[in-house]
Amino acid sequence: MAELKYLLDGVRLHAQELFYKITNKLNDKYYLSFSNIPDGLKAEKILKKNKTKFKSITVPDDIFEACGVAIVTNEYEDIAKILKDNNIEVEVFIYEENKSVKIYGNLQKEGCEL
């Protein structure tokens, strides 16, 4: 049953990413990724509750080739602290010359198999 939930969330995240790209609204600087899908989904809920500005998309392949959740934002320090206070660790990436560069965190990521 959990796999179905993650599949539906994946469809939602892909749709959001497509919308942001079509409307040219995916220009935030930082990409936060998580060790697993549940942490990424929990992070979305926590950040919404805290009224934090962010976008949710699927994690870009050059950050992690398996499925996952990415939070995209223009500021990461406060978000990383909020999430750490809620026992969610993150990695933060920026893009330089169209290539992702990790600037924060070091996670052991879990792949997803449906």
Q: Kindly report, residue by residue over 16-75, the tens digit of the pLDDT.
A: 999 999 999 888 899 999 999 999 999 999 999 999 999 999 999 888 877 789 999 999
Domain 2-104 classified CATH 3.30.310? no
Which residues is 72 bridged to in the sheet? 31, 55
- pTM comes to 0.86
DSSP assignment of 36-50: SHHHHHHHHHHHHHT
Residues with Cβ within 8 Å of 80's Cβ and at least 6 positions away in sequence, in order, are: 32, 90, 92, 104, 105
Residue 90's SS3 state is coil
Burial status of residue 102 (CB atoms within 10 A of its CB: 0-12, 13-18, 19 or more): middle
Q: Kindly report, residue by residue over 74-113, the tens digit of the pLDDT.
A: 999 999 999 999 999 999 999 888 889 999 988 877 766 4
